[in-house]
Each structure stands twice: as C-alpha cells, then as structure tokens.
Amino acid sequence: MATRKVWVTLEATGVDVVTVAGILRDFTAVDRMKRAALVMGGAVVLAGALIPIPIIHLLGIPLVLLAGMLMAARQLASVTRLQPLRIACPKCGAVNRVGGGFGYRSVASGLDRTCDSCRRNLTMRITDR
C-alpha cells in the first residue's frame, strides 16, 4: 500500500479555493482483492448469524449476501483512498470531513460533493505535492 502526499482543494464558484495537505493511499490489485474478500467474508458471517432467527432469515440472508457482494464490488473498483481529514467549506467556512470510506475510482478529475453545513455544490480536487 503506497501512500503519497497530496493537496486537497475545495472549490466553489466566486470564492477562493481552500487547500489542505492530505495523504492518499493507492491500492494494489492484491490490496483491493483483500479488502473485497474481507467485506464478503463479513457478509457471510453476518448472514450465518441470521440463520437461527425465524422469519428474518428468509429475507435477511439473501439481502445481507447481496449487500456484501455490492460492497465487495465497490472495494474492487476503488483504486485510491484519501485519509480522513477536515477542510473548511470555501463558501460558509464550516469544517467538512472528507476522505475515508470506500475510496475513489479515480481522482484525476474533480470530485463533486456538497458542503455538510450549507449544502452548496463544491468540487474537490486532489493533486500531488
């Protein structure tokens, strides 16, 4: 798992961009397989735990397995992940948490997001430093 230092910027129309330092972790193919297998394994264990519960197991087990497969597919597709960090919204100044989660399929172009506080559309860009 290679990490690299990046600049994370939030942009909105008509205001200055906000830039903070961040760390981006690139996943290798093996990392992605491991993450997907871990998620699928967790889903299988959870589905197994539902077996003794009457009625719930009829619908719960297929749903948990389906959700596990979808999340595993997302883990396989994400090639990079930003370490969680806090960045101020360029419009209202409220601190937003970005990064973490599943990661991103690509960071080559801007990523759309909305401010947690003012709900305005922002563009997040990740560039090498």
With beta carbons less than 8 A apart as the criterion, state whether 98 and 85 touch: yes
Residue closer to Zn ion (CB basis): 115 or 124: 115
Using the rule CB under 5 A, which residue among 6, 87, 107, 115 binds Zn ion? 115
Residue closer to Zn ion (CB basis): 21 or 94: 94
With beta carbons less than 8 A apart as the criterion, state whether 103 and 77 touch: no
With beta carbons less than 8 A apart as the criterion, state whether 75 and 102 touch: yes
**From the CB of 1, what's the least distance to Zn ion, in Å?**
32
Within 54-113, the residues that bind Zn ion by CB under 5 A are 89, 91-92, 94
For 41, list phi and psi in degrees, rounded to 5: -60, -40
**From the CB of 41, what's the least distance to Zn ion, in Å?**
39
Residue 117 touching Zn ion (CB under 5 A): yes
Instruction: Check residue 20 and give left, alpha or beta (phi > 0: left; psi -120 to 50: alpha).
Output: beta
**From the CB of 90, what's the least distance to Zn ion, in Å?**
8
Residue closer to Zn ion (CB basis): 64 or 89: 89
Residues with Cβ within 8 Å of 124's Cβ and at least 6 positions away in sequence, in order, are: 8, 9, 10, 11, 98, 110, 111, 112, 113
Q: Give the interface with Zn ion as residue ranges (CB under 5 A).
A: 89, 91-92, 94, 115, 117-118
